[in-house]
């Protein structure tokens, strides 16, 4: 038998949309929680966002982020939905949503009201700016949080427009933070028997990353506003360089690595040059180092550069696209791209389980469900509604 998963026996109602909330719930589902995605009867609005499969299905929002989940439909804007919520909430351990304060759905899923039905309920609310503060009712997406957190101001090359990261790191890291908050709340409930509200926002998470990188401390203590430096690193030597057949990224941190790097380049004189005596000096004088490194790299292939520098224990790596990555042996060994058969569509590559647990490992056990696929199972078998009642709710547009 497969090993028991860490969150087995935990039931989650996932009312969230787009990335952060669904990703949080995907992580919980991967680790064994019974996650029930709740959508409007005609499906959630995020199913209209690309990329799309050849048959027109949303790959990210309809398939990848919905794996391992069950699916029911419920129209929260219909007053009759309260009848079903009153039956659902006592059966749940966790409820996740991302409706901003003041919206109709947020009022229906009000934490204080729902805990009257289930005092042990953990409610996780993921929004742009949190449950309080002057921006609380504003809408937000990943790029807005990147912009308002300050991250875009120093991303990009000198003189270029402010630049957002190509990966929606705020969305995904907010989902990850919400999953961590959920497990912390579960630990507290295990000790106390009480649920709580978990309040996570895109802006808070984005700003926490910027501040953790020292950007706020630079400003306050040094009166320094971090500039754009392109692919250079801050406070250590790094940059990307063109080889004969592609690009390579090199990152040298620490004096020992610097000395090994200089030997690999055949330039021991650089190791003793006082201009490059430490990480800060090498960062400040990086433009005097770049031509030497660029000339060394351009005479070699990417494979030659990485082989030489890896032998010298200098961190480096090729800059690749998905064509290069898809069959990478490290990706295969760690099972970080998993091909899942999605009924009606075919094979859909999905991210593997990034957190490797030795005793209670996560896994991908089922493809994404279609809207309402588990209505009978949940409303009839779990809540005890008759099939006639379910048909009546469906005919009235409640489910």
Residues designated catalytic = 171
Helices 215-222 and 202-212, packing angle to 10 deg: 60
Q: How far apart are the first and last CA of the chain?
A: 36
Best CA proximity match to 340, nearest among 72, 53, 13, 73:
53
The helix or strand, by DSSP H or E, that contains position 126, with its residue range, turns out to be strand 122-127
Q: In whole angstroms, give the CA distance from residue 292 to residue 305.
A: 14
Cα of 10 vs its chain's centroid, Å: 22
Residue 298: count other Cβ atoms within 10 Å of its Cβ: 12
Q: In whole angstroms, give the CA distance from residue 161 to residue 153.
A: 8
Cβ burial, residue 339 (10 Å; 0-12/13-18/19+): exposed
Asked if residue 30 lies in contact with residue 19, where contact means CB atoms within 8 angstroms, the answer is: no
DSSP 8-state code for residue 376: I
Q: In whole angstroms, give the CA distance from residue 37 to residue 13.
A: 6
Asked if residue 69 lies in contact with residue 26, where contact means CB atoms within 8 angstroms, the answer is: yes
Map residue 353 onto helix, strand or coil: coil
Best CA proximity match to 108, nearest among 136, 74, 132:
74
Q: In whole angstroms, give the CA distance from residue 145 to residue 150.
A: 9
């Amino acid at each position: 038998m497969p090993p028991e998963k860490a969150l087995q026996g935990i039931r989650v109602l996932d009312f969230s949309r787009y990335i952060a909330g669904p990703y949080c719930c995907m992580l919980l589902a991967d680790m064994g929680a019974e996650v029930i995605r709740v959508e409007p009867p005609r499906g959630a609005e995020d199913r209209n966002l690309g990329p799309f499969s050849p048959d027109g299905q949303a790959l990210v929002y309809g398939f990848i982020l919905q794996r391992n989940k069950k699916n029911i439909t419920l129209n929260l804007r219909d007053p009759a939905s309260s009848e079903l919520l009153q039956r659902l909430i006592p059966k749940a351990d966790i409820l996740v949503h991302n409706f901003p304060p003041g919206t109709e759905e947020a009022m229906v899923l009000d934490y204080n009201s729902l805990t009257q039905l289930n005092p042990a309920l953990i409610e996780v609310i993921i929004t742009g700016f949190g449950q309080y503060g002057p921006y609380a009712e504003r809408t937000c997406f990943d790029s807005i949080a990147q912009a308002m957190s300050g991250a875009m101001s120093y991303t990009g090359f000198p003189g270029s427009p402010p630049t957002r990261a190509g990966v929606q790191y705020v969305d995904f890291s907010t989902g990850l933070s919400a999953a961590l908050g959920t497990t912390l709340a579960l630990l507290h409930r295990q000790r106390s028997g009480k649920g709580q509200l978990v309040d996570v926002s895109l802006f808070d998470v984005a700003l926490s990353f910027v501040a953790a990188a020292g950007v706020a401390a630079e400003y306050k203590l040094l009166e320094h506003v971090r500039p754009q430096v392109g692919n250079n690193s801050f406070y250590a030597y790094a940059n990307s360089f063109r080889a004969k057949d592609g690009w390579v990224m090199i990152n040298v941190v620490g004096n020992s690595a610097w000395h090994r790097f200089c030997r690999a380049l055949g330039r021991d004189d650089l190791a003793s040059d006082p201009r490059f005596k430490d990480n800060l000096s090498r960062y400040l004088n990086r433009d005097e180092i770049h031509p030497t490194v660029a000339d060394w790299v351009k005479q070699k292939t990417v494979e030659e550069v990485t082989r030489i520098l890896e032998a010298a224990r200098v961190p480096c790596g090729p800059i690749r696209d998905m064509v290069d990555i898809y069959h990478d042996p490290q990706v295969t060994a760690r099972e970080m791209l998993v091909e899942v058969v999605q009924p009606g569509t075919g094979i859909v590559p999905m991210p593997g389980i990034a957190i490797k647990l030795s005793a209670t490992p996560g896994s991908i056990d089922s493809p994404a469900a279609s809207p309402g696929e588990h209505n009978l199972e949940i409303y009839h078998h779990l809540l005890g509604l008759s099939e006639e009642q379910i048909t009546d709710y469906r005919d009235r547009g409640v489910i």
